[in-house]
Structures are given as structure tokens and as C-alpha cells.
Amino acid sequence: MMYLPELPEDPGCYLFSNAAGEIIYIGKAKNLKKRVSSYFQRGEYDQKTEALLQRIASVDFIITETEVEALILENTLIKKHQPKYNINLKDAKNYAFIQITDDEFPRIGIARRVEGDGTFFGPFVSAKERDYLFSVVKKTFYLRSCRRMPKRACLRYHIGSCSAPCIGKIKREDYLKDVRRAESVLRGKTDELIRALHDEMLKKSAKQEFERAMELREQIAAVEHLRERQKMKRQKRYNEDIINYVISDGKVYLMIFNVYKGTLEGKQEFIFDEDDDFLEEFLVQYYSEHEPPSELILPKGVNDALISFLSRRKERKVRITFPKRGDKKKLLDLVGKNVEIGFFGDRLKLKELEKALLLPEPPEIIECFDISHLSGTSMVGSMVQFRNGKPDKRNYRKFKIRSVDWIDDFAAIAEVVRRRYLRLLREGGEFPDLIIIDGGKGQLSSALEELEKLELKIPLVAIAKREEEIYVPKVSSPLLLKKGDKASLFIQEIRDEAHRFAIAYNRLLRKKKVVQ
């Protein structure tokens, strides 16, 4: 099993990348942790999935508030990145919108793209739900759907689904009132509309205009029903960037969500040193290279000079908001949640490891060793390094075993440990905070003996494959850690990465022998 970041149990999208950093697969999940973990559990997969799994080098994710938003984001990201292992969606249609035009008597219709005049509502994940909402809103408020106004009343008027502005059956101001009410429903603002309709119904009833009162009652019933069914998101006609950050140990961990006309397109991450004006400095540098959006949502206010700078860069006014409540505050909090989990999820695993192994501090640098061979031939060793909870592939090392000509994992482990740390001593290199050995008590003893010869005191553990038991030096029984504990799972992840790296090197050597 490859290394996985600390995945949340939230809905969202996951992105698999290869060793070159190219996104090769994008998926959505109701529960990111369960869905992504399922790929790396042992089982039989089809040929395409097996090929995908062999090429995954890293996993990234974006948390969303709902599964519906994850579905929309997945669609957007696939169209943007066109990953190799996703179904080809080049010709796929976008999720449709409901459009209300800017005509003198606005029409309601279905739009595949946000083009032309008017207001667009959506995108809708479910075509069935979209069509239902479109039909109910059109019939409830008697809006026209014809592309061109006819000169005489059509069938829609005669069946009671249109107020027939084409023949003057309704005044323009009354028609526009119905349009505004329809837009309120499509925006999800139903509570205020229901109250207004109810008040108007009582007034009409008091005036004994019972036919109109009945129409209003039916509208109220329709809107109340829609309130329960509505599954959509308002489409905006401008772009937004949502920025949030966390400050920890003098570092700023910042994330940007780029929202294109209401649809989240992706995220960007940054880490830099904290100073008094870090946010303003970051915004100036970032938007010197990127076009500012129409609206920037921030956790706190900025000075007027920066707003003027952004507006000049865009050549139109840029609005800065720092919300305290409402939908924009929810979006800001969602970015903050992504920051917390994306940057600090691995730190939590280090804390668990510190606690489980009784270490003096979280092990920021961890090195793990493994041995691989085929019946004693092409014996190799591997060492992988994890830094701050993540693989640091620049510091991976592979060893061709020199001193062992037979199957002796104990001697092989001793050799690679000796070679690794003797070299660090000679070169004045950086030593790890924890060493993990793939093996049982025998391999652990061999590694400990080499460290003692070099007079190095570095915390050392071994993990035995069969039962995933974890041993520490000079203690006969394994640690009382459950297999599902975060500390135990993290050690398994690191061991699995060392094992993968060792097998890859072993196969390479055997392939070279065959070619020779």
C-alpha cells in the first residue's frame, strides 16, 4: 500500500497523480477516506484499475460541503485536466442551467452553457430534478417559454400554463412581479416569498377576489413543495477567489479556492514565513502574476491601497468581502477546513506516533529500511524518508547488498543501516528522529547493534509483516498497539512505501541481468 495523506471522512474530490506530477485520475466521494482507501486494499481489479494503481505516486483531495458539490467539482476538474484514466468527457454536455432572459417579457428556458443575456440558475446535477423544477416554476408563475412572442395566444395559455403577455392578458409590471418571484424560488429564497404570497392571498380573499386567492394558495403549496426537493446551486456571472489560512510556528499555511462563475475549479496551496503584513504582501505578489477576480473573499479586511491595486490590475472594480455570516462565510470556513486537514493532517499522525512510542517529540524525520530478494538473488536494500509526515523522495536511498551472498536478512539489514549512518557521520548529515525496520526481533537486534557500534542513540522500532506487530529494542513482547490505531497505520504506510521501493529496485536489477 502506497503512502496516503490523512484523509477526512467528508465529501469531496480526490486526485491521483503520477511520479511526474500529472493528474491521471479524478473521482468524487461521499466519504473521501473510505473511497480512496478502498483502492489500496487487496483485491482483484480490472485491467484498467490495475494499470492506474501501478502509476499512482501521490494523492490530493478537495473537501466540499455536500456530495452534490463534489459531483459538480468532479465534472469541472475532469474537463479541465482530462486525466488519462477517466472516461473521455470531451464531448459530454455540461450540467444544464435554468435561464430567465432579459427580454421585455422575460422567458424561462433550459441553457446548456452560460451564454447570452439573462440570469442563470444551476448547474443541476439531476436532469430529472431540473426538469421538475423548471416545469413547476413555469406553471406556477405562468411564465412564457416561447423563443419568440407569437401574435396570438398559443396552447400554453389555453391550458393555463402561461399568462399570455403576447396578447396583453397581463400588464408588464405584474408579469415582472411573477418573474421576480420565480427567481426567488430558483435562488432558494423561499421563506420570504411564501410569507409575501400568504399576505397577498389574505388580502385578495378579504376583497372577495377568490379566484386570485386560490391561485396564490396553489403557488404557496408549489413553492413549499419545491423547498423540500430543490437540489441546485446559484450560478454567478463573475469569478471569485476565496482565501483562508492558518498560522503555526511562524509559518502561514494558505489556500486559495478558485471559483469560476459559481463553480469551484480547484485549489492552490502556499507556505511562507509570517510577518506583520503577510496577507497584503501575498496578494500583491500573487495578483501581479494572475488576473484578480471580480470578488475576493478574505478572513479579514485589507487596506484601500491594495483594493486600488487589484482594481487597476483588472481594469475594473474588484470587490473585497470578509463575511461574518451567511453563504460566503460558509465558503470561507470550507477553505479553512481544507487548510486544517490538507496541511495539518500529517502532523496529527506524528503526534500519535510520539504518544504511542513515548518519544520526546514528534518525529519530523523518519527513515525506514527494507530488504528485497528473489530466493537470495539480486538482494537489495531500500531506505525511504518521511519528513513532516510526508514522503521526501529526494532523500530515498537504494543499496545493492555487498556483504551477503545468501539469504540472511539480518546481515543485510545490518549492512544497509551501517552504510547509511556511517556516511551521515562522515558527511555531517541530518539524522532521523525515528528509524523503522521492516522485520521482527531479529532484524531489530541487527540494526540496534550497528547503531550502538556507531554510538548513535536514535529511537528504533521494527514492524513484523504477518501480524503487523511493532517491537522496540530489548523488550521481548510487541507494543500493545491495535492494528487500527493511527500510529500503527502510519508505521504500516511507511513500511509499505519502503517495501514498494525495494521491490522496484530488485526488479530493475533482475531485468538488467536478463538483458545482459
Nearest to 339 by CA among 260, 268, 265, 262: 268
Q: What is the pLDDT along the chain (516 residues), one digit of tens a residue?
A: 455 667 888 888 899 988 888 899 988 888 898 888 888 776 667 777 888 888 888 888 888 877 767 777 777 788 778 888 875 544 344 557 888 898 888 988 888 777 778 888 776 655 666 776 787 778 778 888 888 887 777 877 777 778 888 888 888 888 898 888 888 877 766 676 677 777 778 877 887 877 777 877 876 776 666 554 443 344 455 688 999 998 887 888 899 988 776 666 678 888 888 877 788 888 888 888 888 888 999 998 888 888 888 888 888 898 999 988 887 888 888 888 888 877 777 777 888 899 999 999 999 999 999 998 766 566 889 999 999 888 898 999 999 888 877 778 899 999 999 999 999 999 999 999 999 999 989 999 999 999 999 999 999 999 987 778 899 998 888 887 776 778 888 898 899 899 988 888 877 776 665 444
Element (H, E) at 66: none
Query: What's the start-to-end Cα distance of the chain, in Å?
Result: 32
CATH topology assigned to domain 365-515:
Nucleotidyltransferase; domain 5 (3.30.420)
Phi, psi of 204 (to 5 degrees): -65, -35
Please state, in angstroms and rounded to a whole number, the distance separating the CA atoms of residues 316 and 128: 39
Instruction: Please give the C-alpha separations between residue 354 and each of 167, 360, 458, in angstroms, as whole numbers.
Output: 79, 7, 14
Q: In CATH, what number does 12-81 get?
A: 3.40.1440.10
> Other C-beta atoms within 10 Å of 397: how many?
16
Residue range(s) in the chain whose domain bears CATH number 3.30.420.340: 365-515
Report field, pTM of the whole predicted structure over 0.75: no
Q: Which positions ≥6 away from 151 have C-beta within 8 Å? A: 166, 167
- Partner residues linked to 65 by β-bridges: none
Lookup: cell for 3:
503512502
Please state, in angstroms and rounded to a whole number, the distance separating the CA atoms of residues 515 and 506: 15
Q: How do 251-260 and 263-273 pair as beta strands?
A: antiparallel
Residue range(s) in the chain whose domain bears CATH number 3.40.1440.10: 12-81
Residue range(s) in the chain whose domain bears CATH number 3.30.420.10: 240-353
Instruction: Please give the C-alpha separations between residue 362 and each of 348, 352, 355, 359, 487, in angstroms, as whole numbers.
Output: 9, 8, 8, 7, 12
Sheet holding 119-121, edge to edge: 108-111, 97-100, 119-121
Sign of CA dihedral 17, 22, 24, 28: positive
Nearest to 396 by CA among 488, 492, 493, 497: 497
Q: In CATH, what number does 240-353 get?
A: 3.30.420.10
Lookup: cell for 409:
536478512
